[in-house]
Amino acid sequence: MNKFIILFFLVFIFIEVPAQLVEVRADYNNVGDCIFSAINNAKTPIFLNIDFADLQNTTFNETLPYVKKLERGFNNLFTLERYLDADEPRFNYNIKTFRSDPASIINLDFPYLIPFEPGTKAKAKEVKSIEGFWGNKELKSWIAIGFNTKPGDKIYASRLGTIVEIAKQVKKEEESLTWYNTWTNSITLLQPDGTLICYRNVVSKTLELNQKIYAGQLLGEIAPSANILKMVIYQNSLASDDLRFIIPLFVVGENEFEIVNIAKEYIVIHPNTVRGLEMSKKEKRKILGIKK
């Protein structure tokens, strides 16, 4: 049986991926199995969804819906095994790609750190608009968390994540196909649960793409002339173009977590018990000084 390769090029717009940035390959081996793989040419991880509409001479044995996080470069996916004494597998399928994990189930009780220096006071502020977050598209619904700030205030990560976008005062239009959102002066992280968190009005000269940031680690500082920190936690939807927005619980005291209230002022604490929730034992020893 002749071996051949079918290259499928993903065409993705705006938050999605530009043409040929992700290549999905289906290779038949010498026994007739079809081996799927993907190459992510982007600078940051991408989530791939493959949905088979028709299968012949094989069975798809992966968990449904099939969503795979693609790291940079080559990624193994799965194999469609040929039925014994049958022709090679035949199939039709659809492909979608996403910046966040559209299939993950979110733990709404996960505690986030108030993103200011421990020991300082923080006052929540109502966010009346997230204009410019999603280009010119009007969102049906959205949720954002706000805090009063002044220029130069230090901002710390509320949760562990990987830096996927560092937007400065101006975004280059020629790079728009790889934007995570259209906000400037913002930092976006991919969190372990597959959601994205964007810190608006935060700037940094030291962060790099794909850098791992731990809960309680310094992210940057409030940009000049800004008087509010806006935080948006969101996730793509598998079934529609709408985004899902998450209201987080924040650490407001020892073993106390709540949705921040604009009528309250909070003393910021970053307990090691919360900072270490998504750290390995090695990371806890290195970063938090926990020996056990």
Over the stretch 142-163, which tens digit does the pLDDT of each residue have? 999 999 999 999 999 999 999 9
Q: Give per-residue pLDDT as tens, 169-214.
A: 888 887 777 889 999 999 999 999 999 999 999 999 999 999 999 9
Instruction: Find tokens 């809960």 and name the residue.
Output: 215
Give the CA-trace dihedral at 159, 163, 166, 172, to 10 degrees: -140
β-pairing verdict for 186-190 and 202-203 = unpaired
pTM equals: 0.89
- Give the model's pLDDT for residue 2: 38
- Give the model's pLDDT for residue 6: 33
- Give the model's pLDDT for residue 12: 32
Q: How far apart are CA 179 and CA 116, in angstroms?
A: 26
Q: Which residues contact 288 (CB under 8 A, 6 or more apart)?
A: 272, 275, 276, 279
- Give the model's pLDDT for residue 259: 97
CATH number, span 111-288: 2.70.70.10
pLDDT in tens, the chain (292 residues): 333 333 333 333 233 444 468 899 999 999 999 999 999 999 999 999 999 988 999 999 999 999 999 999 999 999 999 999 999 999 999 999 999 999 999 999 999 999 999 999 999 999 999 999 998 887 889 999 999 999 999 999 999 999 999 999 888 887 777 889 999 999 999 999 999 999 999 999 999 999 999 999 999 999 999 999 999 999 999 988 899 999 999 999 989 999 999 999 999 999 999 999 999 999 999 999 987 6
- Going from N- to C-terminal start, the domains of the chain cover 5-98, 111-288
- Give the model's pLDDT for residue 20: 66
CATH number, span 5-98: 2.60.40
Fold: same for 5-98 and 111-288: no
Q: How far apart are CA 193 and CA 61, in angstroms?
A: 24
Does an H or E element contain 219, and which?
strand 218-222
